[in-house]
Structure 1
Amino acid sequence: MFQVIGLASRASRTQAMFRSLRFNSSNTQMNWVDFFKLRTESKRINVAASSLTSLMGAFATLAYLGNVEIDVEQPIFGIDPFMVLGALVVVGGVAGYLVGPSFGVRVFNMKNSKVLPAFKAKDQIFLQRIKRNRVDPSSQSFSNPVPDYYGERINSLSKYKQWLRDCNAFRRKTEEFL
């Protein structure tokens, strides 16, 4: 009973979102091909932003550590100082890499501001389809791995259809062999 109420409220929220999109934007209709192109573009922008911020973080850490006076003969926490400095530069690069997608999302939103409401609505529909059709990973094994649980590698209609076939094959294998 609680699931029916939850589904009904979720459906009414989705309908309200689509109604507000219909009145707030001029072009709410987006086909799946355009959606997957924008989704691929978003991922590429995020990777590029992560790469740039990773380099900036590593170089900023290196520039800071280059100005700090360190006695190279004294160990830091019992470790060679050059190893510690190298590890700090790597940590600065990793921190920059983690900050990158926040900049990438902003760049993508500014670049595609006209179609952003339609893209977000289509993305919500896509994620609901992924959630509805994905398999239960509790029965996975080395010989029967779960097919892309979050749908991250789906970037076209043909890959989505292949993902659906893979999910059905996974379900069939788990029913036959368990």
Structure 2
Amino acid sequence: MLARTELCLRTAAVNCRFQPSLTATNSYHTTIPSKSQSQYPQTSRPRLLTSKKSPSQSTSQIVRYASTTASTDNTASTAQPPSSSADRLTWNAFFKLRKTRRRLQLGSSVGTSFGSMLAGAQALAVSDMDSLVGQVPLDPFITLGLITFSCGGVGWLLGPIVGTGIFNTMNRKYIPDMAAKEVEFYRRVKKFRVDPSASSMANPVPDYYGEKISSVAGYRQWLKDQRAFNKKRTTYVA
């Protein structure tokens, strides 16, 4: 009886040992998933091809862009022409150029006058002027002298034109600014000059056209002279 029972237990143990279902269930629990795998299951996701930059790299890039912009602005500012105040004609320079032009006009008048006199004398010496001299009721030498001096006078009148042309050729870049300054100057002279109808021998008009003004200080002195003239006129009338 005991032997039979032991034989049945051995047979049952052998059958359980070679049963495939028991071995399969045991193999399923052999690998324990990790904590990371259980929380974040592995799935096939497409990856974005983007490069992550560190804060230091982005900061350096921002600084580089800012410096490039600043340098571009500086380059643009330096490429622009300088301030117009440095290139514009000042009042003192205007008066100096005006004095130079007057001297050139005077010198040209002297030169053209002598040249015209010489040309007139040579023309009178070569040509026959008896018929013309005979029509003037004066001595022939006086008549020839008057004709010669008349040629010199014509040359004197042509002198300022020649002097102005020489001056414009020498100072071509200052002509537009000088013309604008001249308009403003004569506008001021016309505005502040005195009334010449109130002049007298004791109180003459002080430089009515402003021709003697050769500097800013001279213009201020001219204004003082105009005020002094008006003060004398009111005092004399009173």
Q: Give the TM-score normalised by structure 1.
A: 0.80
Please show how residues 25-44 of structure 1 align to structure 2 within 5 Å.
Answer: 29-44=88-103
Counterpart contact for 1:28–1:118, Cα < 8 Å: no
The CA distance in 2 between the partners of 1:45 and 1:88, in whole Å, is 27
CA distance in 1, matches of 2:88, 2:194: 29
- Aligned pairs, how many? 153
CA contact (8 A) 1:28 1:117 kept: no
Aligned to 2:127: 68
Q: Is the 8 A contact 1:61 1:92 kept in 2?
A: yes
The list of structure 1 runs, each at least 4 consecutive aligned residues, that deviate by more than 3 angstroms after superposition, is 25-28
C-alpha RMSD of matched pairs (Å)? 2.0
Residues 76 and 84 in structure 1, CA contact (< 8 A), matched pair in contact too:
no
Structure 2 counterpart of 1:172:
231
Q: CA deviation at 1:76?
A: 4.3
Given residue 159 of structure 1, which amino acid in structure 2 is its aligned partner?
G
Q: What is the alpha-carbon distance in structure 1 between the residues aligned to residue 174 and residue 138 of structure 2?
A: 53
Whether 2:166 is the aligned partner of 1:104: answer no
The separation in 1 between residues aligned to 2:234 and 2:109, in whole angstroms, is 42
Q: Identify if the C-alpha distance between structure 1 residues 66 and 27 changes in structure 2 by more than 3 Å, giving closer, same or farther.
A: farther
Query: Which of the numbers 181, 185, 189 marks the counterpart of 1:130?
Result: 189
Query: In the aligned structure 2, how far is the partner of 1:27 from the partner of 1:53?
Result: 38
> Does structure 2 conserve the Cα–Cα contact (< 8 Å) formed by 1:135 and 1:170?
yes
Matches within 5 A, 1:18-167: 29-70=88-129, 75-167=134-226
Q: TM-score, normalised by structure 2?
A: 0.61
What's the offset of the Cα at 1:68? 2.1
Higher-Rg structure is 2
Deviation per CA, 1:16-57: give whole Å up to 9, x if none: xxxxxxxxx997621111011100001001001111110111
How big is the shift at 1:95?
Answer: 0.6
Which blocks of at least 5 consecutive residues in structure 1 are unaligned? 1-24
CA–CA distance in 2 between the matches of 1:59 and 1:48? 17
Alignment of 1:9-24 (within 5 A): none
